[in-house]
Amino acid sequence: MTDHEAYDGIPVTVVMPTYNEAGNLPRMAEAVLGLPLDGLHLKIVDDSSPDGTGRIAEELAEKYNADRPAGRPRMSVLHRTAKDGLGRAYVAGMGAALAEGAAYVVQMDADGSHPVEAVPRMLRTAVDSGAGLVVGSRYVEGGALDEEWGVHRVLLSRFANHYVRAVLGTEIRDITAGFNLWSARTLRDVDLATLGSAGYGFQVELKYEAVRAGHRAVEIPIRFEERTEGVSKMSLRTQLESAVLPIRLRLKHW
């Protein structure tokens, strides 16, 4: 039985935040909406990108929704006027996905670094195992990083994961991963509105709170690719926030 047959109709929403991703979005939308999952919906959360990403997203949504006049649209766009961090964009997108009836929500970058073809495997893992979270992991057996990553970036990424895991006492090997599939129940139990991380630390905080709430996390291996268009949004301020976050979370639950 194929993924299409086994999981046909399960409402899954891929939430994809964007800021200046005009060069990547068309091919990403085509790849995501080309997956053999009839219940899949792509939700773009654009933070008023000056390069016209929001306009392109609307045009793509009109194109992909044209062949589905009734029922759940294949693609939608959430426009935000404030650029206040990746975490806030995800909270907005995930909240909208839950309100629209998604059974599972996928976090995915718009730059092509996450393998789109892994989404059906993540869904299958969640449904078959009953896990509340499936992590697309770079650091379990079979996971890999693009060869274009320099030694400095690889060491920094591995150190960040070891550091966060040590402070929080979690067994998730890729705790900083940004490619994740969540069950709706898990997201509701965590209560997205209570999360305090605005930037990339959101990835860590949401996983930590989900596990603390009793939800099981499963990691599956992925290959993380280097972006081909645009520039990274990781700033020094974001890195500092991510470094302080694990200590803040431990103090919060002390």
> For 61-72, how does the pLDDT look when each residue is reduced to its tens digit (9 = 90+)?
999 999 776 778
Task: Give the confidence band of 227 by pLDDT, cuts at 50, 70, 90.
Answer: low
The pLDDT assigned to 1 comes to 46
Give dist(CA 48, CA 35) in Å, integer: 28
Map out the domains of the chain as residue ranges.
Answer: 3-252
Q: What is the pTM of this model?
A: 0.90
The pLDDT assigned to 228 comes to 58
Would you say residue 87 has pLDDT above 50? yes
Assign domain 3-252 one CATH number from 3.40.47.10, 3.90.78.10, 3.40.50.720, 3.90.550.10.
3.90.550.10
Arithmetic mean of pLDDT over the chain: 89
Give dist(CA 164, CA 149) in Å, integer: 21
Would you say residue 57 has pLDDT above 80? yes
Other beta carbons within 10 angstroms of residue 75's beta carbon come to: 22
Contact 100, 13 (CB under 8 A): yes
The pLDDT assigned to 93 comes to 97
The backbone torsions φ and ψ at residue 107, rounded to the nearest 5 degrees and listed phi first, read -95, 130
Question: Closest Cα partner for 184 from 142, 132, 227?
Answer: 132
